[in-house]
Amino acid sequence: MAKLWETSKVGAGSGAALDPMIEAFLSSIGFDNRLLPEDLEGSIAHAAMLGEKGILPEATARELVRGLEALAAGARDGSVTVDPKAEDVHSFVENELTARLGDVGRSLHAGRSRNDQIALDIRLWLRKRSSELRAAMLGAFDAICDLASAHASTLMPGYTHLQRAQPVTFAHHLMAWCAALERDYGRFEDADRRADESPLGACALAGTGLPVDREATAGSMGFARPSRNSMDAVADRDALVEFAAAAATMQMHLSRFCEEIVLWASAEFGFVGVDQSCSTGSSVMPQKRNPDPAELIRGKAGRAYGDLVGLLVIQKGLPLAYGSDLQEDKELVFDSADTAIACARAFARLVRALEPRPERMREAAEDGCLWAADAAEFLVLKGLPFRTAYVAGRKLVEARAAAAGPAKLGRSPAVGAVIADLGAAGLEALHEAWKGVDPGELARYLSLDACVARRDLVGGPAPSRARTEIERIRGFVAGKRTTLK
C-alpha cells in the first residue's frame, strides 16, 4: 500500500527501502484504526472547506465529500474495515478514497498534514468518550440516590482511622460518594472546555500558505475555536493528560468506595450483602460469595494511574513541535477511557446490587461510645469550657466501660442505662461538671437518633439534610442529561 510520505530519496542514505521490521515497528494501524470514524469526520470538514475557499473546484470537493461519506457509512455498517497493512488510519483513508475516486482522492491532503490530522482525530474521539463516560457517571449517581433515598434514617457508625467515631446515616455516607463524583464530573467538563479547539489547519507545524478557513472547519465539527498557535496545536496533548488525570481521580474515588463495600460485605462488618448478580462463588469453598466487581474496580485504579503517568512521561523533554514519540499516546488514552467507562458502569450496577442490613448497622453504632463528643457538647451548652467538658465526657465513657465489665469486651450497655444506674449523684461523682445535670435530659440528648437529628446543618447527617441532598443530586443529574452531547 502506498505511503503518503514516499516522494523522494533525498537524504535517504544508502538503503534501498525501509527495513520490513522497522516498517512494522513504526506502524500505528494496530491501534489507531479505532480513529477511523473521527478521521473521516475531519476529512469531510476539510474537503468541504477546500471547495468553499476555491482551493479545489467545488465539483471535486463535492465528489470527495460524497466518497468520504460513503466510507463513513461503510465504517458504521461494517462493510469498510481498516486494512491492517496500512501504515496508519490516515493513509488508509486516502488510499481507499483514491482507489474509489482515482486522482480526485489525491486532492484531499491539500493544506493539512498527518500531524494536525492526528491531533484532530484524537480530540474528536476524546470528546465522544468523555460524553460516554459522563453518561455512565450519571448512572452511578442514579444508583446511589435510589439506594440512599430508602435509608435517610438508617443509623450506622461513621469512622475515622477505621475506628467507630460518630453516628451518621447510611444515606449520608452514600451521599459522600456523590459529593466526590460530582467533583469528578466537573473535572471532565473543565477538561472538555479547554480541549474545545480544532488543530486542523496547523498542518505540519507552521500552517499552510493555502487560503484555508480554520474557523469554518472548527465550527463545522462543533469546536468553539481553532487552536491559537500552529506549533502548539500539533504538539499539544494536554487534552489527553487532563482526561486521564480526571479519570485517575475518579478511579481513586471508586476504589475507595469499593474498599468500603468490600469491608461492609465481610462477616466482620456485615453491613451489606451483595446480590448474586454482582458477586461470585469460590471454586473450593461453597459457602463463600465474593464482591469481585468491587475488588476489580479497586484494582483498576492502578491501571488508570499508569495511563496518566505514561502520557506525562512521553511528553517530558519532548521539543516542539511533533515527534513520533506522540504515537505512543493513543494506546494509553484509549485504555484510560475504556477502563474508566467500564468501571463507572460496573460501579452503578454494583451499587444496585447492595442489600443493606440496617439492624447490623445500628447494632454497630450502639456498640460504641459514638455519643461521646455530644456529651462534651451537652456541657458546652451549659456554659462549660470545651476542654473541661471533654474530660467530663471521657469520665462518662469510662463509666460505661466499667459497667460492661471485662467479660464483655466490645459489648457495653446502652448509655441511657448507665446514666440511669448512676443517677444524679453518680454523675456528679464522675466529674464535678455533671453536678446538677438531669440524668433523663442527658440520656435523651445522647441517644444516637438525637445525635444525628441534631446535626441539621449544611452538609450534616440529619435525615432532613440527606433527603435535601438526594433531591439536589437528582436535579444535578437531570440537568446534566439535558446538556450532555
Catalytic residues: 161, 282
- Label residue 472 exposed, middle or buried (CB < 10 Å: 0-12, 13-18, 19+): middle
Phi, psi at residue 382, to the nearest 5°?
-90, 0
- DSSP state, 274? E
How far apart, in whole angstroms, are the C-alpha atoms of residue 402 and residue 34?
68
Helix axes 238-265, 329-352, angle to 10 degrees: 30
Dihedral over alpha carbons 52, 56, 59, 64 (to 10 degrees): -90
How far apart, in whole angstroms, are the C-alpha atoms of residue 210 and residue 312?
34
Evaluated on CA atoms 377, 155, 166, 399, the torsion sign reads positive
Indicate the helix (H) or strand (E) that contains 476: helix 463-483
C-alpha cell at position 256: 475507595
Q: Give Cα 326 distance to the centre of its chain.
A: 24
Beta bridge partners of 281: 289
How far apart, in whole angstroms, are the C-alpha atoms of residue 58 and residue 65?
10
How far apart, in whole angstroms, are the C-alpha atoms of residue 257 and residue 244?
20
- Label residue 466 exposed, middle or buried (CB < 10 Å: 0-12, 13-18, 19+): buried
Phi, psi at residue 97, to the nearest 5°?
-65, -40
Beta bridge partners of 225: 197
Cα–Cα separations (whole angstroms), residue 360 to 11, 261, 270, 356, 448: 77, 15, 7, 9, 15
Q: CA triplet 3, 6, 12: central angle to 5 degrees?
A: 135
The verdict on whether omega for the bond into residue 216 sits within 30 degrees of 0, i.e. cis, is: no
How far apart, in whole angstroms, are the C-alpha atoms of residue 125 and residue 359?
48
Phi, psi at residue 3, to the nearest 5°?
-100, 145
Beta bridge partners of 290: 280
Q: HSE-up of 67 (CA within 13 Å, CB side)?
A: 24
Phi, psi at residue 272, to the nearest 5°?
-140, 155
SS3 of 406, please?
helix
How far apart, in whole angstroms, are the C-alpha atoms of residue 328 and residue 310?
9
